[in-house]
Amino acid sequence: MKNFYLSILMLCCVGTSWAQMTVTGYVYEDLNGNFKKERREKGVAKVSVTNGIDVVQTDASGRYTLPIKDDQIIAVIKPSGYELPKNDLNLPQFYYIHKPAGSPELYYKGVAPTGDLPKELNFALTPVQEDMNFTALVFGDPQPYSLMEVEFFEKGVVNEVIGVQNVKFGMSLGDLVGDDLTLLKPYQNVIAKIGVPWYNVMGNHDQNYDVEEDIYADETFEAHFGPSNYAFNYGKVHFIVLDDILYPDPRGRMGYWAGFREDQLAFIKNDLALVPKDHLIVLAFHIPLFDEGFGDTFRDSDREALFDILKDFPHTLSLSAHTHLQRHDFFYEEAGWQQREPHHHYNVGTTSGDWYKGKNNEKGIPVSRMRDGTPKGYAYIDFNGNQYELRYKVVDQSPEYQMEIFAPKVVEKDKRTTAGIFVNFFIGNEKSTLRYRIDGGEWQDMRYMEDYDPIYLLEMFEWDTTEELIDGKRPSNPQRSKHLWRANVPNNLSEGQHTIEIEAIDMFGKRYTGISSYEIKAVK
């Protein structure tokens, strides 16, 4: 099986002492695909290789040398124009775990003892033609807590993208499962069906809770996916994946905090020292950079340290999930960002939605609308050189389904009302503009607001007002939406039905439309 070579990853198996202080080998073009460097297969120069802290580049012959300690992972940072081998689960194979004694004894199994370090540790690459324009698929929080919810994830989301076209790879932004780490294997089996290389981010529900130090919280994750901190290139984009959960919380040893350890910040700095400044830097982690509204949820000093490392890179984007909401944040100078143009942070909507809550649909799968009114779904990122655009896809809907309109069904003619027209523009943010018009009249601007989505409120209160039990789970309490707009309802028009048209322009200049209606009646 291809999985087998994870333990002998592209190397010549000649044992040495555990006390070896350096690791060396080649990054090479694997022309025959046998994962073994042969004499005629040339090395690849100027490819970055890391031990999780230090980053070096291969010489003209493709050779690298790195310091090595027990409990480190050696990983190649995929260069543009090359493809990584994949195992039978479509997981890229770019690393070698060096744990001579294996993981500590934990409730959920970690890495088995790896034994002596090989004499040479070689990494295979295959040259390919990479277009500067490409698309990636992004999932937030699959987070199943049971095999039934794994099935919800598969039938409700994954089946929709199996065989997806024109997508080069996918990524899940953490909380791959919900605390039960035995579900990581079923999750892997489901994700493999999509048919594209898949990268994974560690979430707070993917960690080993029975550890005393944060560096051991990813042992089971490592056994399934390799390093929780790594990087790769595609086109003119450099991706950095990070575990940003500090567990146990260094403030009081209870729960977790968000931030980075010193070794992680060193890795980012050493990695980016070898990346051209005109490349787009995309960082992916689980917990968002912003504080979530209930205390200090991200360590400020670590965010500032990250921003300091990024200060010479004018093209950046960061991705997170975790909140089970969808929102965009822009960090300016007052927040520690050291450039004129703000840093864009995209908190991606989740594939589990509101933790698989809400009514079951006709397929027996929870509708699971998120607490800000965003329907369950996933995102696409379209890259063009060092630029990008975002798209959000609602599950079971056409790609054109980008907003929901809430308006009263009927209003009384010429009578003042507090009712309004509300639009939840799922991908929207403060840089979006929305207009509306009635019956083809003049376009008028809508007012941006942060408030509870009325459609979500209506669905949630149905559970509290029904006199019959509803199949499913009551939705969570609402959170204010960051992509909601409002306009007054005209009540001085003629009696009868009136058409509401909405035009939404996102931050990238893409135009979306929606339509609804309401009725005006006169009291007889």
| Residues linked to residue 72 through DSSP beta bridges, in sequence order | 98
Res 13: pLDDT? 37
Domains defined along the chain, listed by start? 2-126 (2.60.40.10), 133-394 (3.60.21.10), 403-521 (2.60.40.10)
Residue 391 CA from chain centroid, whole number: 13
pLDDT digit string (tens) for 147-157?
999 999 999 99
The whole-chain average pLDDT of the chain stands at: 94
Helix (H) or strand (E) holding 189: helix 184-192
Whole-structure pTM value: 0.94
Provide the percentage of residues in the chain whose pLDDT is more than 90: 92
Rounded to whole angstroms, how far apart are CA atoms 312 and 52?
22
Return the higher-pLDDT residue of 450 and 34.
450
Residue 188's region, left for phi above 0, alpha for psi from -120 to 50, else beta, is alpha
With b for 16 or more beta-carbon neighbours within 10 A and e for fewer, the 155-164 pattern comes to ebbbeebeee
pLDDT at 406 over 70: yes
Per-residue confidence at 417, pLDDT binned at 50, 70, 90? very high
In the predicted structure, residue 16 carries a pLDDT above the cut 70: no
CA distance 306 to 308: 5
Of 37, 22, 3, 26, which Cα lies nearest the Cα of 117? 22
The answer to whether 57 and 49 are in contact (CB under 8 A) is yes
The whole-number average pLDDT for the span 14-23 is 58
Each residue of 384-399: pLDDT tens digit? 999 999 999 999 999 9
Outline where 382-477 has alpha helix (H). Answer: 454-465
pLDDT tens per residue across span 315-325: 999 999 999 99
Quick check: 495 pLDDT over 60? yes
In three-state form (DSSP H/G/I as H, E/B as E, the rest C), the secondary structure along 304-339 is HHHHHHCCCCCCEEEEECCCCCCEEEEECHHHCCCC
- Residue 74: count of CB within 10 angstroms of its CB: 24
Does the structure show a pLDDT above 70 at 97?
yes
- Structure confidence at residue 294 (pLDDT): 78
pLDDT at site 31: 87
From the number of C-beta atoms within 10 Å of its C-beta (0-12, 13-18, 19+), residue 500 rates as buried
Give the model's confidence band at 4: pLDDT under 50 very low, under 70 low, under 90 confident, else very high.
Answer: very low
DSSP, res 117: P
pLDDT in tens, 193-235: 999 999 999 999 999 999 999 999 999 999 999 999 999 999 9
H/E stretch holding 271 reads: helix 262-272
Residue among 438, 409, 426 at smallest CA distance from 501: 438
Q: Is the pLDDT of residue 80 over 90?
A: yes
Three-state DSSP class for residue 38: coil
By CB atoms closer than 10 A (0-12, 13-18, 19+), residue 423 is: buried
Q: Model confidence over 173-191: pLDDT tens digits?
A: 999 999 999 999 999 999 9
Q: pLDDT value at position 159?
A: 98
Is the per-residue pLDDT at 17 higher than 60? no
Residues 458-475 pLDDT 10s: 999 999 999 999 999 999
- Would you say residue 10 has pLDDT above 70? no
Please determine, for residue 307, whether its predicted confidence score (pLDDT) is greater than 80.
Answer: yes
Residue reference for tokens 């990250």: 306
- Alpha carbon distances (Å) from 37 to 3, 29, 63, 121, 148: 18, 8, 12, 10, 44
Q: Tell me the sheet residues that pair with 388.
A: 383
Are 141 and 352 a contacting pair, CB within 8 Å? yes
Q: Does the structure show a pLDDT above 80 at 348? A: yes
**What integer pLDDT is reported at residue 20 of this predicted model?**
61
* C-beta separation of 266 from 51 below 8 A: no
Closest CA to 133 of 390, 389, 391, 382: 382
Say if residues 45 and 59 touch (Cβ distance below 8 Å): yes
User: Cα angle vertex 140, ends 138, 145, to 5°?
Assistant: 135
Tokens of 23: 């690791």
- The pLDDT score that the predictor gives to residue 199 is 98
Q: Which of 322, 504, 266, 297 is closest to 401 using CA atoms?
A: 504
146 is written with which tokens? 């049971």
What pLDDT shows up at residue 365? 96
- Tokens describing residue 199: 């990268």
Residue 268: Cβ within 10 Å count: 21
The yes-or-no verdict on residue 15 having pLDDT over 70 is no
| 3-state secondary structure at position 10 | coil
Using DSSP, state whether 469 is helix, strand or coil. Answer: coil
CB neighbours of residue 146 within 10 Å? 14
**3-state helix/strand/coil string of 223-243:** HHHCCCCEEEEECCEEEEECC
CA atoms 284, 374, 135, 513: torsion sign: negative
* pLDDT given at position 7: 40
